[in-house]
Amino acid sequence: MADDSQRNFRSVYYEKVGFRGVEEKKSLEILLKDDRLDIEKLCTFSQRFPLPSMYRILVWKVLLGIIPPHHESHALVMKCRKEQYWDIHHALREPEDEVFLVIAKAMEEMVEDPVECYWLVSCFVNQLNSKHKDSLQQLPKVLEQYLNIEDNRLLMHLKACAAMSKLPYDLWFKKCFAGCLPESSLQRVWDKVISGSCKILVFVALEILLTFKMKIIALNTAEKITQFLENIPQDNTDAIVSKAVDLWRTHCGTPAHSV
């Protein structure tokens, strides 16, 4: 009788969450009976039987019960949601995973709810990879143009050291300063990116160069300059972002013209 009750309960549960096929039920039952669910099996299941979008959070919660609740879980769920075939032992070794992970780690400091955090990161990264993909590739050249306007001497020094091509562009532009700026400063930058302007990233990079001009000029190799810029002091980043926003408004005018 107990077996029948358990089977009936699961039948009702499957109906509610959309598992109506016999094959889906049997596959999920096998997973549920395991003492320790296998991540790869669960991902294979999600690939064979895609869920409607309304159940995305349910899948996320199921996976969260298996994977430790930190930024790496967001990247793994992202791969499952895209229904990509992937080897669990090499799941987080692609270049785009590094970007996702560092942005997710920063977002975790801003958003308390892990499910909300995942969807914010997912949408933010998707926006970078779709709407801003072409623009992001042009930002190093745009930075050089504005630096020439704001401080030609500094630009000449960077070129003399062969540092312009070796500045931390991935950290600044691909990762949108995640891992470079503290979260309190980062939020203000990301607000502008989300609202439609990735060019704000140029002016944050520009203001970093201008703020630490004397330190940069004192360095005489591209390697030393890059190393310093990857680990800038964190005590005045709010002021840097404020000045960057002012520069952005001065050069780009209204937000509608600042993409």
pLDDT of residue 201: 97
Lowest mean pLDDT among 72-81, 120-129, 211-220: 72-81
Which residues have CB under 8 Å from 227's CB, separation 6+?
Answer: none
Q: For residue 19, what are its two tokens?
A: 């598992």
Tell me the average pLDDT of the chain: 76
- Classified as helix, coil or strand, 152 is helix
Rg over CA atoms, the chain: 23
Length of the chain measured in residues: 259
10 in Cβ contact with 44 (< 8 Å): no
Model confidence pLDDT, tens digit, residues 176-227: 999 999 998 999 999 999 888 899 999 999 999 999 999 999 999 999 999 9
Asked if residue 102 lies in contact with residue 173, where contact means CB atoms within 8 angstroms, the answer is no
pLDDT above 90 for 257 = no
Q: How far apart are CA 39 and CA 242, in angstroms?
A: 44
Beta strands per DSSP E along 127-203: none
Q: Is the pLDDT score of 59 beyond 90?
A: no
Q: How many Å separate Cα 159 from the centre of its chain?
A: 31
Q: Quote the tokens at residue 98.
A: 């590094």
Kindly tell me the sign of the dihedral angle through the C-alpha atoms of 197, 138, 107, 208: negative
CB 169, CB 139: distance < 8 Å: yes
Domain 132-257 belongs in CATH node 1.10.472.80 = yes
Sorted by sequence, the CB contacts under 8 Å of residue 115 that are 6+ apart come out as 57, 60, 61
Least confident piece of the model among 65-69, 134-138, 139-143, 184-188: 65-69
Question: Would you say residue 62 has pLDDT above 80?
Answer: no
pLDDT computed for residue 119 by the predictor: 77
Give just the sign of the alpha carbon dihedral 155, 160, 161, 162.
positive
pTM score: 0.68
Domain boundaries, the chain: 34-92, 132-257
43-56 pLDDT tens trace = 555 545 554 455 55
Residue from 168, 178, 193 nearest 245 by CA: 193
